Amino acid sequence: MDLVKDLPVVFEEFAEQRRNSFLAIKEIKDKGIPVIGVFCTYFPQELALAMGAAVVGLCSMSDETIPEAEKDLPSNLCPLIKSSYGFAKTDKCPFFYFSDLIVGETTCDGKKKMYEYLGEFKPVHVMELPNRQSEQGLQLWKSEIIRMKEYLEEKFNVTITEENIREAIKVKNEERRALKELYEVMKADPVPIEGQNLFKVLYGSTYKFDKARIPGEIRSLVSKIKSEYEIEHKIAKKPRILVTGCPIGGATEKVIRSIEENGGVVVTYENCSGAKAIDELVDETNPDVYQALAERYLNIGCSVMTPNPKRLELLDRLIDEYKVDGVVEVVLQACHTYNVERIGIKRFVNEKKGKPYIGIETDYSMSDIGQLNTRIAAFIEML
């Protein structure tokens, strides 16, 4: 990365990264490199990396294809599921188009049933994700990771050695360390950058396929942010907001904008677009690479787990470390697991942490912007 570039230019480059990678994925494909399309944070990307494949997050964040999806699926289904299916059905997602294989996991009911239909458009492999972070759950997940590795070997006619996986673990851990260094700049008070810009980099970096290059780019950006902060570039002091809940991106970035246009600043994301996907490293010292992967990935605190203590542990830590003033939870309409978990999160935030909480239920349309702004403005005003 060119250190001479201004920060806004760098942020826009990351914001454009997803679109720019439409071309990159075609080039990857032309070189004969396998492309694996995924929807969820539970997929152990190290397996794909170990065989030299590219991993790409499939389109699922816009309402563009929802009408087409609703011809086949019920309309009272989570927009993320409808959008994912709609993109596959209409072939409008270049990443889906170039994927040789789609990997799903048995997460929420709607998503796992939707995967049954995706098989009509592309080869699909579904990993059986346990519902509990128990010893039995861990054993099942480890065996599923091994089954996934064997499936990849057979499908792509490759051999994936433990050494390949160990190397991939190091690469992904280094990426996680760098991304953590980035989001930790938001511990400063006042913050050095807006939460919208942090989000652009976190989201954009998932569309960079050369994983080994990411740490260098991110660390250059971090040092640029820090040196500008020391000179004078700071965002005025504002109420510090933690965003939690369903994954956000694309259409749902409206919530981040609403928070920051109404006087707050998002200091941290406890969701799959942020810390939930990055926080924990894979244990590089464990000689059993499958055990190390299984432990790390099963620890992800998603609401599909029952109970889900890991989410509270991460929230607890982030609220303290980022000196959070208020918590905004984003729940997608008809997402039962996050919706049911809302009351537990609200109690935890209000009673255990003594912080205000607001729950926002939304979808991919822009029809609730007015109401969203009114509620968020009132919440921030109160902080």
Binding site for ligand BJ8 (CB under 6 A): 40-42, 78, 80-81, 107-108, 110-111, 246-247, 272, 300, 302, 304, 332, 335, 337-338
When the beta carbons of 131 and 220 are compared against ligand BJ8, the nearer one is: 131
Q: How far apart are CA 65 and CA 84, in angstroms?
A: 8
Q: Nearer to ligand BJ8 by C-beta: 113 or 226?
A: 113
Cβ 227 to ligand BJ8 shortest distance, Å = 34
* Identity of the residue, 81 or 328, whose beta carbon is nearer to ligand BJ8 in the bound complex: 81
Q: Which is nearer to ligand BJ8, 79 or 356 (CB)?
A: 79
Judged by CB, which is closer to ligand BJ8: 195, or 249? 249
Q: DSSP states of 296-319 as a string? A: HHHT---TTSSS-HHHHHHHHHHH
Q: Is 250 left (phi over 0), alpha (psi -120 to 50) or beta?
A: left
Query: Scanning the structure block, which residue is given the tokens 């699909």?
Result: 124
Q: For residue 36, give the nearest of 47, 22, 21 by alpha carbon.
A: 47
CA–CA separation, 137 and 302 (whole Å): 15
Q: How far is the CB of 337 from ligand BJ8 (least distance, A)?
A: 5
Residue 117: CB minimum distance to ligand BJ8, A: 14
Rounded Cα distance between 139 and 309, Å, is: 19
Q: 227: Cβ–Cβ under 8 A, 6 or more apart, which residues?
A: none
Which H or E element spans position 49?
helix 45-50
Q: How far is the CB of 344 from ligand BJ8 (least distance, A)?
A: 15
Q: How far apart are CA 267 and CA 324, in angstroms?
A: 8
Least gap, CB of 125 to ligand BJ8 (angstroms): 16
Nearer to ligand BJ8, 11 or 85 (CB): 85
Q: CB 98 → ligand BJ8: shortest distance, Å? A: 21
